[in-house]
């Protein structure tokens, strides 16, 4: 929408025009169900196969290892539930709820994270053993942007839990990290179309050949029996288009967005006393600008920002609305007086220099307004 500053790319990204264009024929004349045997069906099947090849190329896996799903949440659920019958699940406390809630429901083991949201390797070590069936550690944290050292995690898991499937939720990684560097370390990996310029309601579970993960959704036997349900052909084609374009642009976009993010966060810390960057830039993805304002309430801040046309969030979108303290910040051990004033700004492909200027102005004004109200009440 014209005039608005969108800084919530971690919640969802605007669709890439090339991805919209790629999906349109499959919403109109090329509408067939790819499971059929006539020429219409064959056309749709070819499109799904081509999309699978493109996705595999970006992940660095085999096409047969790409399973199309309904979303990132489903991919995470499928990886964990599909392995759970063989033993215990383990994950860190800062995982997305799509992982955390599944592990909790199945009486798994939750391990701690450090002050930068990295999994505590000593606690992970202590939680592992031959009875562990699945370990899930996210590649990039959706709230604070921390990048996991998957090499170190994999080393530990292979050594201490040799029977475990190692899953990574890479939903927030696709825009910023080369997935080919992650895939060799894990057995299963989740992606979600709408986090990299594709449509909502379509995801990927990369599932290494020969790995013991039972199907989560059963029925018609699509996706070689690994995920039943009629293919979302338009969504799959658009996801592949968006992922391939993201992969090509990643090096330049990462550098461009990192410098915007550094200017935004640097400007806030310099201009507004009592501002803290939650995780240092070196430890996180380029698009993440997560800051905390001492003594403020995120809800009031978000309201004023929204009035000023700046769209950001407090915790992750899934848990905002209810302004509970973030489980991620709590796991990081951040004091409530800081955590209550957390602001997640997430930048992306459409973010401009002008957006950063507008956000700096709006935030400086909003924080000053809220602090003067508090001072007047005191």
Q: HSE-up of 296 (CA within 13 Å, CB side)?
A: 30
CB-nearer residue toward ligand PLP: 142 or 148: 142
Closest distance of CB 193 from ligand PLP, Å:
7
Closest distance of CB 238 from ligand PLP, Å:
14
Closest distance of CB 43 from ligand PLP, Å:
27
Residue 19: CB atoms within 10 A of its CB come to 24
Torsion of CA 276, 282, 283, 284, to 10 degrees: 80
Selecting among 61, 175, 311, 318, the annotated active-site residue is: 318
CB-nearer residue toward ligand PLP: 8 or 253: 8
Task: Give the residues lining the site for ligand PLP (CB under 6 A).
Answer: 71-73, 76, 96, 98, 138, 142, 169, 171-172, 192, 203, 316, 318
Q: Compute the distance between CA of residue 351 and CA of residue 86 in angstroms, rounded to an integer.
A: 45
Q: Compute the distance between CA of residue 341 and CA of residue 314 in angstroms, rounded to an integer.
A: 8
CB-nearer residue toward ligand PLP: 87 or 198: 198
Which residue is closest to ligand PLP by CB? 72
CB-nearer residue toward ligand PLP: 58 or 272: 58
Closest distance of CB 169 from ligand PLP, Å:
5
User: Among this protein's residues, is 61 annotated catalytic?
Assistant: no
Which residues are the active-site residues?
Answer: 318
């Amino acid at each position: 929408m014209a005039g608005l500053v969108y800084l919530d790319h971690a919640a969802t990204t605007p669709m890439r025009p090339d991805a919209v264009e790629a999906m349109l024929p499959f919403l109109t004349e090329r509408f067939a169900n790819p499971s059929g045997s006539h020429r219409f069906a064959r056309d749709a099947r070819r499109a799904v196969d081509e999309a699978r090849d493109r996705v595999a190329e970006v992940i660095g896996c085999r096409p047969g290892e790409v399973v199309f799903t309904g979303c990132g949440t489903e991919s995470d659920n499928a990886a964990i539930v599909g392995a759970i019958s063989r033993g215990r699940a383990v994950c860190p406390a800062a995982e997305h709820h799509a992982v955390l809630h599944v592990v909790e429901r199945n009486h798994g083991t939750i391990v701690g994270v450090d002050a930068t949201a990295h999994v505590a390797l000593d606690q992970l070590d202590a939680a592992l053993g031959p009875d562990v069936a699945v370990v899930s550690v996210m590649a990039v944290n959706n709230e604070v942007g921390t990048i996991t050292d998957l090499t170190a995690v994999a080393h530990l898991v292979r050594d201490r839990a040799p029977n475990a499937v190692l899953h990574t939720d890479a939903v927030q990684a696709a825009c910023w990290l080369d997935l080919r560097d992650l895939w060799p370390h894990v057995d299963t990996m989740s992606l979600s179309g709408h986090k990299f310029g594709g449509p909502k309601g379509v995801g990927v579970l990369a599932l290494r050949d020969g790995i013991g993960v039972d199907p989560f959704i059963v029925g018609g036997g699509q996706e070689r029996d690994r995920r039943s349900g009629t293919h979302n052909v338009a969504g799959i084609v658009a996801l592949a288009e968006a992922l391939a374009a993201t992969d090509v642009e990643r090096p330049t976009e990462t550098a461009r967005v990192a410098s915007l993010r550094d200017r935004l966060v640097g400007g806030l810390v310099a201009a507004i006393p009592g501002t803290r960057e939650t995780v240092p830039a070196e430890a996180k993805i380029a698009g993440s600008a997560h800051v905390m304002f001492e003594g403020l309430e995120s809800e009031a801040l978000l309201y004023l920002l929204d009035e000023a046309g700046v769209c950001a969030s407090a915790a992750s979108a899934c848990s905002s609305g209810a302004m509970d303290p973030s489980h991620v910040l709590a796991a990081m051990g951040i004091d409530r007086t800081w955590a209550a004033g957390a602001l997640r700004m997430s930048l992306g492909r459409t973010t401009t220099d002008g957006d950063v200027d507008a956000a700096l102005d709006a935030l400086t004004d909003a924080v000053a307004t809220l602090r003067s109200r508090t001072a007047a009440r005191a």
